[in-house]
Structure 1
Amino acid sequence: MSEWAMKRFWKEALAEPCEGGFAIKLDGRGVKTPAKTPLVVPTEGLAEAIAYEWQAQGEKVNPAEMPFTRTSNSALDKVATQHAEVADMLAAYGDSDLLCYRADHPEELVTRQSERWDPMLDWLLETYGTRLTTQAGVIHQPQDPLAVAALAREVHAQSPFQLAAFHDLVAMSGSLVLALAVTRGAVDAEAAWHLSRLDEEWQEEQWGPDEEATAIAERKRGEFLHAARFYALASA
């Protein structure tokens, strides 16, 4: 049995201003999310990106080719309805941030982590007045609760659309610090992605790449870059 797919019924997809932001119209009819919420987004740039996805569809709609639509649906149907819970979950990464757990050998990896990750922690201190401590090994050691709380306030201040993208930046990198740095423009998304994969890339240098792992990493990289672009559009 073939899988059901929505067929295209519209000729023109446009972004139009409306109460509360910008709507996406298909031949004048407003798009709705899977939960039947009107698809209204906060910025014209984001609305235009979504309208472009709908306009680019062929005879059958392929959701896999509509990442801006999917993330917006998530912002409205999931994040907006449980904003505090999502923000709490992401803020908790500050207590176990990837950048704080270091190797104790070999020396080359220890040095590389220090050279590339320490500047991000220095930026965090300069920007938020918050210092996270580092340690060797992977056993969890709690951070200063005041430091974690300061970062949590920044996360909770984000809009549902920002938070939907921020979720992917944090979850895919394992680092609240890197996600904050990307959204603040302190590091570009491509560089942040490679910083989050420093250990994996070092292993590849030693033993060579694994074809399957490389393919998975490349797919995730694309999703990470999309999240950064979505955040920027939702904040413009």
Structure 2
Amino acid sequence: MLTTSRKLINYIKNKSEVKNIFRNYATKNRFYKNTGILKSDGKFEVTLDQRKLKTPKGNLFTVDSEPLALAVATEWNSQKKKIIQSNMHITTLCNTVIDNPNNLTKLDVVNYITNYLDTDTVLFQANEDDDLIRFQIAEWDPIIDWFNKRFDVSLQKSTQMDVPPVSEQDKTTIMKHLMSYNFAAVNGFMYGVDTLKSVVLTLALIERFLTPEKAVLLSRLEEEYQIGRWGRVEWAHDLNQQELQSRLAAVMIFVYFNSQSQKVQTKHIPV
């Protein structure tokens, strides 16, 4: 008799879900001992045992920031026997910028982020559950108020998805702010928005008004409310929350290092 797991594999083996499962969890053995960085033509590269790191499309991995290169090298160095690329968020962000698989311009990315305001998580609040509404008002409204003051806009929350809460003037203001960043940084913003489903929370994160932990909780407010009522599956909830926090920490590092002209300087101690 087949085991339960074998039956499950036979049942879904011809389904597209199988490809997604193995794609998401595909790993390979670590093939290098040491990682490092080097400078070439004003840019920084990452090495794996003297081999230069390349992107998924075969491009040479180069970044403008030395601290960013060190962060990527650290991600590769932190891999143990298996290389789990799905956990290396900074590397993933860098690869996306270098390869640019969708041939996006900075304006394309900024337009995507700005238009996301029309469905921003914190701008649409419940209209059926009074307790949930009070919870959202207590947690989300202070963030909206901060955002409006910080960026001189007037975002309005809504209880109906067919009522746009953001004016074109406010969108233009946010667009100008985002356009002040370089192409790499706005890709970091987009990664954050896709993670949190919120432009407001992402900008609050980058501005350090929120920590990654708090941003994740606010993005999952309704889920947290339901968990408070019905309980939670501890391990599943904790793993998901930690994964989101890891993504957001990577976003903060990535945007910061792509917005600063920094190099690592070694202190010279007189002998």
- Compute the displacement of 1:76 (Å): 1.2
- Of 157, 160, 165 in structure 2, the residue corresponding to residue 134 of structure 1 is 157
Q: Counterpart in 2 of 1:196?
A: 219
Q: Quick check: 1:79–1:86 contact (8 Å CA) kept in 2? A: no
Q: Residue 230 in 1 paired to residue 254 in 2?
A: yes
Q: Residue 34 in 1 paired to residue 56 in 2?
A: yes
- The amino acid across from 2:54 in the alignment is K
- Of 97, 100, 118 in structure 2, the residue corresponding to residue 95 of structure 1 is 118
User: Which consecutive segments of 4 or more residues in structure 1 shift more than 6 A?
Assistant: none
> What TM-score do the two structures reach when normalised by structure 1?
0.84
Q: Residue 24 in 1 paired to residue 38 in 2?
A: no
**CA separation of 1:79 and 1:41: change in aligned 2, threshold 3 A:** farther
**CA separation of 1:164 and 1:79: change in aligned 2, threshold 3 A:** farther
- Compute the displacement of 1:101 (Å): 0.9
Q: Quick check: 1:7–1:61 contact (8 Å CA) kept in 2? A: yes
Q: Counterpart in 2 of 1:13?
A: 35
Q: CA RMSD in A?
A: 2.7
**CA separation of 1:30 and 1:183: change in aligned 2, threshold 3 A:** same
> What TM-score do the two structures reach when normalised by structure 2?
0.74
Larger mean CA deviation between 106-115 and 175-184 belongs to 106-115
**CA separation of 1:59 and 1:208: change in aligned 2, threshold 3 A:** closer
1:7-30: CA deviation from partner (whole Å, max 9, x where unpaired): 62x443212233343211234443
Q: Residue 111 in 1 paired to residue 127 in 2?
A: no
Give the gaps of 5 or more residues in structure 2.
Answer: 1-25, 261-271
Query: Rg bigger for which structure?
Result: 2
Q: Counterpart in 2 of 1:48?
A: 70
Equivalent residues, number: 233
Where 1:134 maps in the other structure, the secondary structure is coil
Where 1:136 maps in the other structure, the secondary structure is coil
Inter-partner Cα distance in structure 1 for 2:219 and 2:80? 36
Q: Quick check: 1:87–1:152 contact (8 Å CA) kept in 2? A: yes
Larger mean CA deviation between 112-121 and 24-33 belongs to 24-33
Q: Quick check: 2:27–2:83 contact (8 Å CA) kept in 1? A: no
**CA separation of 1:20 and 1:81: change in aligned 2, threshold 3 A:** farther
**CA separation of 1:20 and 1:92: change in aligned 2, threshold 3 A:** farther
**CA separation of 1:80 and 1:49: change in aligned 2, threshold 3 A:** farther
Give the gaps of 5 or more residues in structure 1.
Answer: none
**Identity percentage over the alignment?**
25
- Compute the displacement of 1:98 (Å): 1.5
Where 2:37 maps in the other structure, the secondary structure is strand
1:20-63: CA deviation from partner (whole Å, max 9, x where unpaired): 43211234443221222221113222111111233344566442
Q: Quick check: 1:22–1:40 contact (8 Å CA) kept in 2? A: yes
